Structure 1
Amino acid sequence: MLSTKESFQAKLMNTPMLTILGLGPGSIYDLTVQAHTLLTQAAEQQQIVYFRTTLHPAAAALKQELPELQIRSFDHLYDESDAWDTLYERIASEVCQLAAQQPIIYAVPGHPLIGESSVQLLVQQARERGITTRIVAGLSLLEPVCELLSLDPYDRGLQILEATRLAALESNEIAGALIPTAPLLIPQIYNRRLASDIKLVLGELYPDEWPVRLVRLAGLSANEEPVLEIPLYELDRTNVTNHLCTLYVPPVDELTSLRLPETLRYITMRLRRDPDGCPWDREQTHQSLTRYVIEETYEVVEALEENDMEKLAEELGDLLLQVYLHAEIARQEGDFSLGDVYEQINAKMIRRHPHVFGTAEAETAGQVALNWEEIKKEEKRQAGIQPEETGLLDGVPQGMPATMIAQKYQKRAMRAGFRYDQVDEIITKLGTELEEFRQANTAEERLDELGDILFVVVLLASWFKLDAEEALRHANRKFKQRFQSMERLAREEGRDFSSYTSAEWLERWQRAKTDETHKSDLV
């Protein structure tokens, strides 16, 4: 019968095709007994051990202790790779190819399953190729880093995100991947190029001056401290990064990270909080804020029409604040929360885009519109509303501008077949309404006939598939520009604006139109 030691050694001899071994955080003394035994055995058998990187203190120490140990590394790939997200895929692919030919050992810093992207990819590829894998645990980088920082990883929800994964994030993914109000560890910042990419990503959420700590577990001289505190913007200006460098980013408070939706939620909650909030905000209701929703919406429209992107960003923020305020009021009154708002719109977008998030097909915008209407009908049925029992003109929001309501009514009626056959018939109808307005005798009659005139004018826009509201806004802008040009002319002439005769007004109006045309030709 084998002794315990002999049984253990016999088990080691039965090496799987691929052994993934953890080297620990740095010192050779941090190697587990199992890892050290396997490496010793590999040296005796002159078996090549593949290191993800030899820029690890244990690699040099093992070479000194075990001169026969044959080491190959993938360090050259770090300089050759242009993209962080493909670097570890290449390493995993090469290791898998080697393991498919003969049993090999692949050694990585720390613990193989903690912060090792190459191992995650490698295990997946090995499984797909039918290669047996074995994990030999190691002490992770987390323990010594937390010791140096006096950091409890269970406190405040410590985040850990490997450096190359963080650097590979698209700009629209950053806010969803990080929580700046929780502490963050970023291990394996192995060169300045990666440090630069990390700095740019963090700069989306953290202030440039935010103090961060670079924890170095290797490559230090006797008089250097293992923890270097620097402002975030200097991260790629240090020359101390290596594979055992970990960045610690302390949490920010709720009012520091100004680029996060969570900050606006917190601000809105504080404004409404009693007794230390804002007296004005605490008094607001859904009804009292209605006018501000409308005002902010029109200011967004104005920024769009002016093509002013800086102004648009500001006005969208003002409109977003109204959403958050209404959600906070509803939360306080027990009606719904901001999470319900997100859930409603997310579910609706997924449900109404089955050609994107499901199996339906829609190759044109027209097909999308047809699908959209059918889905809306089904939503009504599920809500207990039978579409056949509702009118074609139902469901048009009455808070919209009258021209928009009229155009929606007309488009729905036209789709149902209630329409003129020729545009000349609409123009004739407009003439009829103008004559009826001319013959009206009372204010009530004039109001009624004027409404008919406007409705027919909007119908003319609908016929030509024009936006009546946009056309009127365009006319308003032209009038404002021309009137302001006349005001400038009056100042240049030293005339009182109200002293012009009708003929002078007309002459200057024509000059303003001419100047406007000339400027348009120059653009």
Structure 2
Amino acid sequence: MQLGDKFEELYQIMKDLRGPNGCEWDKVQTHDSLKSYVIEEAYEFVEAVDEKDNSKMKEELGDILLQVIFHSVIAEENEEFTTIQVIENLIQKLIRRHPHVFGDEKGYSYARWEEIKAKEKGEKKYSRVGKINKALPALSSARRVQENAATVGFDWDDINDVWNKVEEEIKELKEAKNDEEIAEEFGDLLFALVNLARFLNIDPEFSLRKATEKFVRRFQKMEEKIEGLGEDFENLDLQELDNFWNMVKKEEE
């Protein structure tokens, strides 16, 4: 069976799920009700990539494709746009944004990419660093902006300079005198740490999520140890809790 046939089958399944004899849950969904699922599926795919789990990647890509079809069918029902228009728009955009592949221009240029994007949106000016995508988590947005700046040559030459910048921002945060300054300097420190993550080839968003998961896992194990000894968590002081925490850390290591 050809790719087009499979896509048509998937499209028809979604139409049936939304149809009179379809699924009660699927039939009541809207663009708004599905927003969180789009984000969730994207993160689950990223996790599968980081885990290098091909089977999981295949599944999560299917879930992302499901969201594309879901929203497209809803749009058709509301007479907003069609699935074919979604595909046609993507095809045209890919061709338009790659004049070095589908046109006469020579070589890829990030600046040219941003120029084309700006023209598409009717903007007379464009920035080589791109726009801030407010839909992205803050750490991912910072990384993207830094990558864009690096693409046009505005970046650190040496990782030691990045380490020095982090230390500088820590010093400035310690010296901040009021809430406004503290908030600004803390943001500068986070931005510097994202830069460091780039130079260490680390995704800061994924790294922070893993650190949070580790904290939750260790905290839950600490609770289990305390309960196993018949102790009351709330009656333990910080030093006693810290002792249990260190026990869990030692066992994991």
TM more than 0.5: yes
Residues 454 and 514 from structure 1, CA distance in 2 versus in 1: closer, same or farther, beyond 3 angstroms?
A: same
Choose 416-425 or 376-385, whichever is displaced more: 376-385
Does the C-alpha gap of structure 1 residues 481 and 335 become closer, same or farther in structure 2, counting only changes over 3 Å? same
Question: In the alignment, what sits opposite 2:31?
Answer: 286
1:458 is matched with 194
1:269 aligns with 2:15: yes
Take 1:450 and 1:498, find their aligned partners in 2: how far apart are those partners? 32
Q: What is the DSSP-based 3-state SS (H/G/I as helix, E as strand, rest coil) of the residue aligned with 1:287?
A: helix
- Measured after TM superposition, the shift of residue 287 of structure 1 is 3.4
2:142 to 402, 406, 411: 406
Would you say 1:447 and 2:183 are equivalent positions? yes
* 3-state secondary structure, aligned to 1:399: coil
Counterpart Cα distance in 2 of 1:292 and 1:435 = 41
The one-letter amino acid paired with 1:495 is E
The counterpart of 1:433, out of the listed 145, 154, 169, is 169
Q: For residue 218 of structure 2, what is the aligned residue in structure 1?
A: 482
**Structure with higher helix content:** 2
1:323 lines up with 2:68 in the alignment: yes
Q: In structure 2, do the counterparts of structure 1 residues 476 and 293 end up closer, same or farther at CA, with 3 Å as the change threshold?
A: same
Q: Distance in 2 between matches of 1:515 and 1:402?
A: 34
Aligned partner of 2:41 in structure 1 is 296
Q: Is the 8 A contact 2:218 2:248 kept in 1?
A: yes
Gaps of 5+ in 1: 1-173, 180-259, 361-366, 518-523
Unaligned regions of 5+ residues in structure 2, if any?
A: none
Map residues 76-91 of structure 1 onto 2, 5 A cutoff. Answer: none
CA distance in 1, matches of 2:140, 2:118: 27
CA distance in 1, matches of 2:49, 2:232: 35
Describe how 1:82-121 pairs up with structure 2 within 5 A: none
Contact 1:269–1:328 (CA under 8 A) maintained in structure 2: yes
- Cα separation, partners in 2 of 1:311 and 1:501, compared to 1, 3 Å: farther
C-alpha change, 1:345 and 1:372, in structure 2 (3 Å) is farther
Structure with the higher fraction of residues in strand conformation: 1
Q: Is the 8 A contact 1:352 1:372 kept in 2?
A: no
1:471 is aligned to 207
**In structure 1, what residue type is equivalent to 2:221?**
S
Q: Distance in 2 between matches of 1:490 and 1:511?
A: 11
Q: Which amino acid aligns with 1:454?
A: L
Match runs of 1:204-353 below 5 Å = 260-273=6-19, 281-306=26-51, 311-345=56-90
Q: Aligned pairs, how many?
A: 252
- Alpha-carbon distance, 1:409 to partner: 1.5
Q: Which residue identity lines up with residue 35 of structure 2 in the other structure?
A: T
Relative to 1, partners in 2 of residues 1:443 and 1:292: Cα closer, same or farther, differing over 3 Å?
A: farther
**Whole-Å separation in 2 of the counterparts to 1:438 and 1:281:** 52
For 1:158, the equivalent position in structure 2 comes to: none
Q: Normalised by the size of structure 1, how large is the TM-score?
A: 0.40
SS at match of 2:72: helix
In structure 2, C-alpha distance between the alignment counterparts of 1:374 and 1:318, rounded to whole Å: 33
**1:353 Cα offset (Å):** 7.8
Pair 1:371-2:117 in alignment: no
Corresponding residue SS for 2:108: helix
Equivalents in 2 of 1:414, 1:310: separation in Å? 34
Q: CA RMSD in A?
A: 3.9
Contact 2:142 2:194 in 1 (8 A): yes
Q: Structure 2 length as normaliser, TM-score? A: 0.74
Larger radius of gyration: 1
Q: Which amino acid aligns with 1:269?
A: K
Paired residue for 1:493, among 225, 229, 234? 229
* SS of equivalent residue, structure 2 residue 45: helix
CA contact (8 A) 2:130 2:145 kept: no
Give CA deviations for 1:146-181 in whole Å, capped at 9, x if unaligned. Answer: xxxxxxxxxxxxxxxxxxxxxxxxxxxx3448x6xx
Q: Contact 2:30/2:74 (CA < 8 Å) preserved in 1?
A: yes
Deviation string, structure 1 residues 491-522 (Cα, Å, up to 9, x no partner): 443433444443333333333333333xxxxx
User: 2:115 touches 2:126 (CA, 8 Å); kept in 1?
Assistant: no
